Amino acid sequence: MHTAFKITLAAALALMAGGAMAEEGNVPSLKGKTVGVTVIGTDHHWDLQAYQGQIDELKKLGAEVIALDAGRNDQTQVSQIQTLIAQHPDAIIQQLGNIEVLAPWLKRIRQADIPLFTVDTATPEAITNTTSDNYSIGAQLALQMVKDMRGEGKVAVFNGFYSVPVCKIRYDQLKYVLQSFPRIEIIEPELRDVIPNTVQSAYSDVNDVLNQYGPDSGLKAVWACWDVPMIGATQAIADAGRKDVKTYGVDGSPEFVEMVADPKSPAGAVAAQQPYKIGQTAAQTVARFLNGDEVPPFNFIPAVLVTKENAGETAAPFLPKDGKTGDKAEGASDKTEGKAEGKAAAQ
Amino acid sequence: MSAVATAGTARPTRRKRDYSKLAVRLGAFAGFAAIALYFAATARGFVSPYNLTNIVEQSTILGLLAFGMTLVFAGTGTDVQKGGIDLSLAANAGLCAAVYAVLLRNGYGSAIAIPAAILTGMAIGALNGVAVVLFKIMPLLATLAVLNIAEGLELTLTENTVVPVSSPLIDMLAFGRFLGLSSLTWIFVVATIVLVAIAHYSRIGLRLYAVGGHKEAARAAGINNGAYVYGAYIAAGGLAGLTSILIVARLSSSTPGTGQMLLPVLAAALLGTVFSRRLIPTIGGTCLAALFIGTLANGFQLLGISSYWVSGVQGALILVVVAVTSFAKK
C-alpha cells in the first residue's frame, strides 16, 4: 500500500474512531444485571451490526441479555415489548422501528420504571439515544447531491419511511437544503421504498422513473434515507445505460459503498455509519447509567460521507472484507485512537 | 364424516376410530399442558399474573381472525383438506385497518370509520362467496386471488406507509383495563362466548355445520347450502373488519404487513380441530389453539429464542395436525 494513502486511511479511521470506545477501560461492569434488547428487524446490514454490537458488548460487560428480534413485524415488536415489561429487566434498549407504533409502548416502559435507551429512535422517553448525527448526515448528503447536480435539475426521492425518526431527520434536512436551491425540483409523487423486497421494488420504481424522465428531462439524482433501495436504483440506472443520473443514500451497506467506490457505477455518494459501534456505545451507556454515572441525552457516533471523489481514501473500512464488513474489522484501530464521544456529543 | 359410516358393519372400525380421536385429543391437551409446564419451569416471569394476562391479550387478534377461519371451515367442509378455506382473511383485516385509519386521519369519526371497516371486511367476504359459490372456483385459488385484491387495495389506500391515528376509543382499546383485565382480553372472552353460542347452540350455527359436514344431506333436508357458504365468508370478513379496529388500536396506526398473520391464523384454526371431540373446527378448539400459539410465542420470547422459530413451529404444527387428524379419521 502506498505510504501516503496509508497515512490518509489511518487518519480517516482515527477520525471515525473518535468514539466512546476509548473509554472502554472505564466502563463499569453489568454483572448481575439483565438488559432487554428489542429490535424491529435484523434483515439489513445496519440493523444486524447495531443489534450485534449491543449484544456483544452487553455480554462482554457481564449482563444477562434478553434479545428480541421482531422480524419486521410491528405486532410482534409490540408483543415483545409487552413481554419485556413483564420481565422487568434492569434496562431496555430499543432499536429503530415506526415511532407512531412504538411511542405509547415506550411510554409504558418508562411508566413501569424501567430505564429506556434507544438506538436510532429519537423519543422523549429515552434516557440516551445512541445514533449518528443524522442532521449533519442529511445536510452533507443533500449538499453533495446539489454539488453533483450543479444546482439544478430533478431528483426522484424515496420517502416510504418518514415514520422512522432517523429518516424523518434526513428527509427534512434534504428539504431544508433544497430551499436554498429552488432550481432543484423533487419529482411528485415521491417514491415509496418498502421492506421486504427493497432492492427489487426500488429497481422497478426507478426503471419506471427513467422511462418517464428521459435523458433530456433534467433528472439527475435519486435519493433515499438509507442505501438498500439505492442498490436497486443504481442497478436500474446502470442497466438503462444512463450516465446523467446518480444515486444518494445513507448507512454504508458494503454493497452500496462498493458501488460508490466503482468509478463506472452511477452511485454518487453514501453517508457511511458505524452501526456496530453505535450498538456497543448504547450498551456502554446502559452500564454507565446503572452504575450511577451521568449520561448524555444522545451519543453521536461519527459517520463519513463517501463520494466518488474521495472513495479512494474513505471507502476502505466499509467495503466487504472476507465475509465481514468494514465496520467490525475496523474495531482494532478504535482501541488506540479517539476521544470521549459521549461527552463531546452532549455539547 | 360419521354420517358416511353405515351402522352395523362399521361399528368395530368406528370404535377404533373413536379411540384414535380420543388419543389425538388427549395428546393435544397433554402437549399444551407439557409445554406450559416447561415454560413455567424454565422461563423467567412466565407464570406471573401480568404475563399470563399478556398471553391472552397477545392472542386476541390472532384468535378473532382464527374464529373467522373456523366459521369458513365449518360451513365449507369440516374436513379441512377437502373443504373451503379463506386465504384472504389476514389481508382483508389489513385492508379494513387501512380503511379505518385513513378515514380517521381524514377527519371522519369512529361512528363512520368503524362501520366502514366492518362493511369493507364483509364486502371482501362476499367477494369470496361469489367466487366460490357462483363461479365455483376452488376456494384455495378463489381466496388467493381475493387476497391479492385486498392487498392491492390496502397498498393503494396507504401507499405502503404507516398511517398513524389516535382517538379516545383507540386509547381505551389499547390501554384500558377493567377488573384487572385489559380491553383486548375482555373482547376475546366476550367474542368467544358469543361465537360459541351462535356456532354451536343456535339454529343457524347447527345448519352451518350440517352444510359443511355433509352437503348432500343438508340439501336433502331443505337447507340452502349456498346461502350458508356466503354467510360463512361474509361473517369471516366481518370478523376481519372488527379485528382490524383492534389491530389499529394496538399499533396506534395502520401498518403494512397485517397479511403476514395468515400463517398463524391458519395454524390456530387447524390446530383447533385437535382440541375438539370429533376433530372438527370449533370455536372452543380454536380459542384454545390461539392461546396455545400465543403461549408458544410468549414462552419463546421469554427464553430468548428467535421469533423466526415461531413461524417454523407454526408451519410444522399445520403439517402435524393435518396429518394426525386425517389419519385418526380413517
In sequence order, what E strands does chain A have? 34-39, 64-69, 91-95, 116-119, 128-132, 153-157, 184-186, 219-223, 246-251, 267-272, 298-301, 304-307
DSSP 3-state helix, strand, coil percentages of chain A (rounded to 5)?
50, 20, 35
At residue A339, the pLDDT reads: 35
- Averaged pLDDT for residues A242-251: 96
Q: What is the pLDDT of residues A83-95, one digit of tens each?
A: 999 889 999 999 9
Q: What is the pLDDT of residues B252-298, one digit of tens each?
A: 999 988 998 999 999 999 999 889 888 889 999 999 999 999 999 89
Q: Radius of gyration over alpha carbons of chain B, in Å? A: 20
Which residues of B fall within a CB distance of 8 Å from A87?
44-45, 51, 302
At residue B321, the pLDDT reads: 85
Read off φ and ψ for residue A233, nearest 5 degrees. -60, -45
Chain B CA closest to residue A43: B308
Q: What is the pLDDT of residues A258-307, one digit of tens each?
A: 999 999 999 999 999 999 999 999 999 999 999 999 999 999 999 999 99
Cβ–Cβ of A98/B253 closer than 8 Å? yes
Read off φ and ψ for residue B265, nearest 5 degrees. -65, -45
pTM of the model: 0.83
Q: What band does A243 get if pLDDT is binned at 50, 70 and 90?
A: very high
At residue B306, the pLDDT reads: 76
Cβ–Cβ of A76/B307 closer than 8 Å? yes
Which residues of B fall within a CB distance of 8 Å from A161?
161
At residue B14, the pLDDT reads: 66
Among B61, B175, B252, select the one facing A101 at the smallest CB separation. B252
Q: What band does B80 get if pLDDT is binned at 50, 70 and 90?
A: low
Q: Which of A11-15, A43-47, B46-50, B125-129 has the highest mean pLDDT?
A: B125-129
The minimum CA-CA distance between B321 and chain A, rounded to whole Å, is 24
Quick one: three-class SS letters along A95-152?
ECCCHHHHHHHHHHHHHCCCCEEEECCCCCCCCEEEEECHHHHHHHHHHHHHHHCCCC
Tell me: pLDDT of B208 over 50. Answer: yes
Among B174, B252, B257, select the one facing A73 at the smallest CB separation. B257
- Averaged pLDDT for residues A150-164: 94
- Average model confidence (pLDDT) for chain A? 87
C-alpha cell at B90: 389476514
Which residues of A fall within a CB distance of 8 Å from B302?
66, 83, 87
Q: Which long-range contacts (CB under 8 A, 24 or more apart) does B126-130 make?
A: B126/B230, B126/B233, B126/B234, B126/B237, B128/B86, B128/B88, B128/B233, B128/B236, B128/B237, B129/B229, B129/B230, B129/B233, B129/B234
The minimum CA-CA distance between A123 and chain B, rounded to whole Å, is 16
Judged by DSSP in three states, A67 sits in: strand
CB-based contact, A123 to chain B, within 8 Å: no
- Burial class of A162 by CB neighbour count within 10 A (0 to 12, 13 to 18, 19+): middle
Q: What band does A333 get if pLDDT is binned at 50, 70 and 90?
A: very low
